[in-house]
Every structure is written in structure tokens, then in C-alpha cells.
Structure 1
């Protein structure tokens, strides 16, 4: 296992600060935000200095009932090659549901949602992981996620689920200790028990991130300082195995470079003070034994039959029912906590509004203080079926078609939104679009004023 050292999540907002930080051995970049043909100059400079760059995917959907899309796998492989990365990472999560197996439209969560820890879900996940492994030019590591909700009728603990996944596929693990803490608060799962059960010898690297607690719910925000309970989970992990790499994640509300460096120092100190007591491996029965260290490379995936179509169909129906309840106002599936589902649904709506504001910053600028309320009202009746950029265009179109929208009561605001939509809704910018196409687009959205 390649040793990575100490790293930080590279984001455009802190790119300059990351380049100046001492002791940064590697960085992680969100794969979907990197264009292989136009790599950010900051990442190129880091690579020239010998800093490793790892692409971290968020939209592959390894836990979806469908097999991974070839186009998404190709895109992830291209980013790994362009960055010269030693591995790529993704999440153990589902991100979309619906489609032919459910006779319902495909819905996008815009978020990482937990897969049920069942044999059906594990069979599907294992096959999806093997498909991804075969398509990628470098090893794959998969991350445990944070969750607000629990599936009813689960058949395994998180540690058992991850152990079997590694045993059957040979995949490496990206363990997020902040997510273990989140699941401790939100789902009553003991991080120490998870660490007892999961194959720590398969860890490729570790994530550390901040969050906050409100009304008994832990929000994995990636926008707050790392808390001591999260560092305590890191210490427990580090006492069992020396992780090849540890990375600080921060996605929003970026503090000063000095504050980020203090958090990195706290992470390094935690690792130094928690030397492994012993190295552990596990027999197939999950019994802990002391033995020489093993590596993920030694865990050869077994040859297995593909996940059965009935298993994929059952998982598809379960995930579609949950996602429809979260984003489309469908009834809450039996066995789920209605209150928690309400919290998750509101969190998804808020995240959707925030991300649309990021990918289309002109919208909150045009709509002013009314943007958020208008978007949340739109989102309640319009589940996301494409990416966030398509969501921004659909939101603007819906406002323009709705003559009763108070947020467009001002004629100047309506005209600015119309011009913005026209500029971005066609296959070419407005300045290069033929007049006939512009006329058709104008008629399509029924510009009434």
C-alpha cells in the first residue's frame, strides 16, 4: 500500500493557501470538478512539486440498483490518468433511483444516501465494484458515508458489511472517521465496534472532517472545525493500524490558512500519540487474531456470479421508494422513522438550493433575497432528474412560465432572468445562436412581458 502521508482536500477557494501550506504530502480533488484537458494551474504546480493528487468521485452511484454507467467510469478513469494518480476513490452510496425496474422516472438525490445492509444490496454493490475495478486504470477505494436515517430490516452491521465487501472484491477502503462519529450520534452505532469488525488492513487512507450537532442530529457539514470526538475515533483507528494517509476535508465556510494548519497539526499529533498496539487481521468468521500485517493486494477477489436480476429489482424498488419519499412527496416507506426522513428531506432541499446557487451564482444575484424561498418552493414539486446545472435551468424556466411568481413581480428582474436563461439553455451561447433558434426558444418559455 503506497504511503500518502498528510493531505488536505483541494478546493478552488483555498487553492493558493494549500500551495503555501507546509507539510502537505498529497491532496484530493473532487473528480467531477476537474476537466482532464484543462487541469487547474494550482493542481499542475502541486504535481510538479511531487504532491500526489487523488480524484474523489461523488456521482458514480456504486450502491445504485443499476450497474455503473460506462460514461461515468470513463470520465473517472480519464481524471486518474490526467492527474497521474495512484488510486481513485468513490462512495458506498446510492445517488439515483427509479427507471425501468421500477416503472418510475429516474430521480437524482443530489446527495450520498445509505444503501441497506442486506444480502441483496451487498450482492449488487460487489458486482458494481468489480465493474468499476475492471474499468479503472488504478486501484479503487470506497468510502463509508454518514447518514441521518437507518433502513429497517438490515442484516449486517457496517463493519460486517465492509468486511464482506473487501473479502469478495479485494477493494480498498477509505474510512471517514467523521462519518463513523456521525453514525454513532444519528444511528446509535458504536465506532469502536465498527473498527473491531472492519478490515483495517485494507485501508487506503482516512478522511477527517468537521460537523455540528443540532436537536440530537449530527450534521456532517464539512464546513465546521473538526471536533474532539472525531479525533478520538481517529485515535482509536490509529491505535489499531497505521493508516497510509490521512486527509482533512473542508468544503465550505473556509477558515484562515492558519486555522486549517492548526487542524492539520491536531491530526498529526493524534496519529503520533496513537501508535498501533498490534496489527490485526480477521478470519472469515470475523474473529480478531494477532498476525503479521497483510495488505489489500493480498485479498484476491473471488470469482462470483453477477448479482441476480431479482436482487437488483428488489433493491431498485426499495431505493426508489425511499428517494421518492425524500424528494417527491411520496408516502414514507414502512419501517422508516418519519421524523428522521423529514429532517433528511429538508436537508436535501437545502443542499440542492445551496449547490444550485454555487453552479449558477447569477440566480441568487438576480432574484436577491427571494431566491432561496422560491427555489425551495420549486423543489417541492420538481424532483431533480438531471445534474445541478440542468436543475438551475429548469428552475429559471419554471419561474418564467409562472406568471404568479412574486419573485418576478419586478419587470427588470424578469427580463434579467429571461436573458440569463436564453444565454444558457441552448446548445450554443446566445451570441452564437441563430436568430431562428432564439425565436423558438423565446416562444417556448412564453415570455409574456
Structure 2
């Protein structure tokens, strides 16, 4: 795998700016947001210039109790091949729970949630990573996530957990220094200790992102400037190893090109400072090859019952966050309430993005109506299904109050609930124009 250099997360909203930014060696795309047969023209132009494109998955749920879904793995592999990617990445996280292993309804988090750092969870994760590696045409790297809450009775630190994962599977690591900062604020974990425990030779690349603190809780928003402590962690990492690639993530509230360029310059400066501290000189260029991940030991299959035990515990946690059931014993109830509110808010925001007609039809009452709906109705089938279910719920309860708005909502639901939109996308384009005018 070649060295990547300096990169930025490609998003449609900043596609033009990304193409014009100087010194961009590679970009990362959210895998679920691109279609192999209809790649955006901007990505195609970047590829023609020799800019590498890495698909970054968010829905596989490798840390979940179930084995990875074959269709999701196939989709991720198709994107890697269509983009000519040197590797693909995912997360050490679970995103759904319930189902056959627990004989309970399947629940979707719509977000990346932390796995317990236990032997059971590590056994299951190693087996899931092996399954994914066998299904993918290029190497896999997995990312440490940010978390608002901790699991009780954990047996390993994050550094130990990730180090053993690498030893047992040979998987590469995507280290998010912003997430290390998040876990420092929210869970009291020392970033330096986590870095010291990592097998740095397995690092594929590094994420850098911003966030904000509210009431003593750090929110990894990807919508705010990168704070100084995150740059400091990047410098510490670069003092330990030359990172093969470093990437700036921004998912919303996009600044202008000049601000993006300043943050990229700050990232380069932080890496140079770390390499100077190490006395190693500058990091190698993007054209050179890095050392690969270490050879894996033979990873035994998960112990009998490990998946079932993990499934029960994850289902109980997710149900408390999205379905209002009691918080399991040993968890910080305040932090769990913060996480539950964050999940509901994200759910409302994403539904508004995938179905922009709904905020237009419902006006200022959209958010309150959606949060009221979400309190008693967990997501079970993804955000697009959630949008349809929300609209059906409103119509069944005789809302909105305005007859004209009810008629428009019913037309939208009929248009979107069939196998293909009847309007040819006209409603969506009109809604996006209204939202842009509001912004």
C-alpha cells in the first residue's frame, strides 16, 4: 500500500473546493453515499489527476454481535474496485442490535456506538474482521471511535484492545486523533497512553476533525474547527511514527476554501513538529511505500456463547438509548441520556437530509414532531425507511393540522413509498431549493 500523504474528506457540498485545494494527495468518501455505476464527476476528475480515493464505510457494524452482512460487504468491495482504492476503512463499533441472536426486534442506532473492551467482544470482533478481510479485494483498516459513555467492567484499555486486534488479524488501523481527544474529555482516557500501546507500524492513516464541548461533554461534530488539543495529539503521534496519511474530516457547516486550506496547513505543521521532535526529519512523501501491517497470528473463532452474550448486552444498551427501556446496571445514566438525545437529534437531522421535502412541508414544526415520533419508535430499517414511517405516522394521526400540508405530505408519501418516485425527483429538487433559500 502506497503512502497517501495529505487528504480531505470529499463531500458533495465542497467538491469544487476540494478540486482546487493545493497539495491534496488523496480523498476519502463515505462508502454508502456513492454508487459504483454513477460516480460523481468530481471524483472521476480527481482520479484522473492521480488522487487516490478511499471508501470509508459507516454501516457494517464490525463490533456487533452478528457476523458481517454479506450484501454490505459486497457493496463495500464494489466501491473499492470502482474507485481503484488502495484500501477500505470501517469502524470498531456496533450500529445495530437485536434480531435472531436475542429473539427481539432488530434496532438500528443510526450512529457508531462503542463496543465493550472485553474478551468476548474482542473474540467476536476478530472473527468479524477476518470475515470482512476475506470478502474485500484490498486491505481493511478499522477506526477507533469517539464515545459519550463507557461500558462497565471492561477488561482492556483501548490501546490494549486495538493492539491485540492487530496481532490476531493483521488488520490495519485508522487512528482518529480527534476521537482520542473526545475519549479523554468524556471518559478520562489519556491519549498518550493510548498511543503508547498502539502498534504504530499498523497505522494506515490518521483522521483529524473538530467538535465542541457542552456541559463537560465533548461532541465529535465534524462541523467545527479543529481545536489545539487535537493538533497536539497528532504531533505526539507523528513523534512516534511517520503517519502514511493524514486526512481532514468535515461533514457539515462547511467553511470556505481558505479556511479548509488553513486547517490542512495546520495539519502539515503538526506532523512536521512531531517528526522534528523525533529527530527523524520530515515524513516520507506520498509516492513512497510504507511498511505494511504486521503478520497476523492465527485468530481462533469466537468462543461458544460469546456472540450470544454480546448480543444480549448490546441489545439492552441500544434499547435503552432508542426505545426508552431502563439503562442497564453499571452505566452512567446521565451520559446515557446525553447519548440518547444525541442519537435522536442526529436521526432528525439525517432524515431531513435524505427527505428534504419533510422540513419544507412541516415548516418550523418538523423537528419537534420528529423527536416526538422518535421517542417511542426506534429506527429499524435505515433513514429512508424512517422518513416514510414518520410521514405515515403523521398522516395516521391526522397531522399536520393544515389540510393543504396534509395533502402535500400524503402526495410525498405516495410518491416515495412506491418502487420508483412518480414525480421524477421534481419534489426533491423543489424542496432543496426552498431549504437553500432559508439557509
TM-score normalised by length of structure 2: 0.93
The answer to whether 1:307 aligns with 2:302 is yes
SS of residue matched to 2:165: helix
- Structure-2 residue corresponding to 1:410: 402
Aligned residue in 2 for 1:439:
none
What's the RMSD between the two structures over aligned residues?
1.4
Alignment of 1:378-389 (within 5 A): 378-389=373-384
SS of 1:430's partner is coil
| Cα-to-partner distance string for 1:270-302 (whole Å, 9 max, x where unaligned) | 1112116279xxxxxxxxxxxxx99444x2222
Q: Map Cα deviations across residues 173-221 of structure 1 (whole Å, 9 max, x no partner).
A: 0000000000000000000000010111110000000000011000000
Within the candidate set 358, 362, 365, 1:363 is matched to 358
1:84-106, Cα deviation, whole Å (9 max, x unpaired): 00000000000000011111101
Kindly indicate whether residue 215 of structure 2 is the aligned counterpart of residue 215 of structure 1. yes
3-state SS, counterpart of residue 35 of structure 1: coil
Q: Distance in 1 between matches of 2:114 and 2:308?
A: 17
Contact map agreement 2:126 2:299 (CA 8 A) in 1: no
Q: Judging changes above 3 Å, is the alpha-carbon distance between structure 1 residues 431 and 258 closer, same or farther for their aligned structure 2 residues?
A: closer
Residue from 412, 416, 419 that aligns with 1:427: 419
Deviation of 1:307 (Å): 1.1
Aligned to 2:300, the other structure's residue is in SS state coil
Query: Aligned equivalents of 2:208 and 2:254: distance in 1?
Result: 15
Q: Determine if contact 2:244/2:290 at 8 Å carries over to the other structure.
A: no
Cα separation, 2, equivalents of 1:60 and 1:296? 24
Q: CA deviation at 1:427?
A: 1.5
Deviation digits for residues 241-260 of structure 1 (CA, Å, limit 9, x no counterpart): 00000000000000011000
User: Contact 1:65/1:312 (CA < 8 Å) preserved in 2?
Assistant: yes
Cα drift, residue 347 of structure 1: 0.2
**Equivalent residue pairs, number:** 415
Distance 2:78 2:27 in 1: 18
* 8 Å CA contact retained: 2:3, 2:290: no
Separation in 2 of the partners of 1:38 and 1:135? 23
For 2:278, the equivalent position in structure 1 comes to 277
Structure having the higher Rg: 1
2:395 pairs with 1:394: no
Structure 2 partner of 1:200: 200
> Does the 8 Å contact 1:171/1:296 carry over to 2?
no
Q: How far apart in 1 are the matches of 2:22 and 2:240?
A: 28
1:340 aligns with 2:335: yes
Mapped partners of 2:169, 2:306: distance in 1: 18
Q: CA deviation at 1:426?
A: 1.3
Q: Which residue of 2 aligns with 1:142?
A: 142
Q: Structure 2 stretches of 5 or more lacking a match?
A: 281-288, 425-439
Equivalent in the alignment of 1:284 = none
1:237 is matched with which residue?
237
Alignment of 1:283-298 (within 5 A): 295-297=291-293
Distance in 2 between the 1:19 and 1:389 partners? Answer: 30
1:4 aligns to what?
4
Write the deviation string for residues 383-402 of structure 1: whole angstroms up to 9, x where unpaired.
00011000000000000001
Higher relative contact order (CA 8 A, sep 6+): 2
1: CA distance between counterparts of 2:315 and 2:279?
44
Counterpart in the other structure of 1:45: 45
- Distance in structure 2 (CA, Å) of the matches to 1:56 and 1:304: 25
CA-CA distance at 1:305 after TM superposition: 3.0
C-alpha separation in 1, matches of 2:344 and 2:46: 36
- Measure, in 1, the Cα distance between the counterparts of 2:84 and 2:347: 32
Offset of residue 308 of structure 1: 2.7
Q: Distance in 1 between matches of 2:6 and 2:155?
A: 36
**Structure 1 unaligned residues grouped into runs of 5+:** 280-292, 433-449
Q: 1:16, 1:309 → 2: CA distance? A: 51
Secondary structure, aligned partner of 2:385: helix
Q: Secondary structure at the match of 2:251?
A: coil
* Alpha-carbon distance, 1:431 to partner: 6.1
2:328 aligned counterpart, secondary structure: coil
| 1:328 has 2:316 as partner | no
Equivalent of 1:350, from 345, 349, 356?
Answer: 345
Instruction: Encode CA deviations 1:326-354: one digit per residue, 9 max, x unaligned.
Output: 00001100000000000000000000000
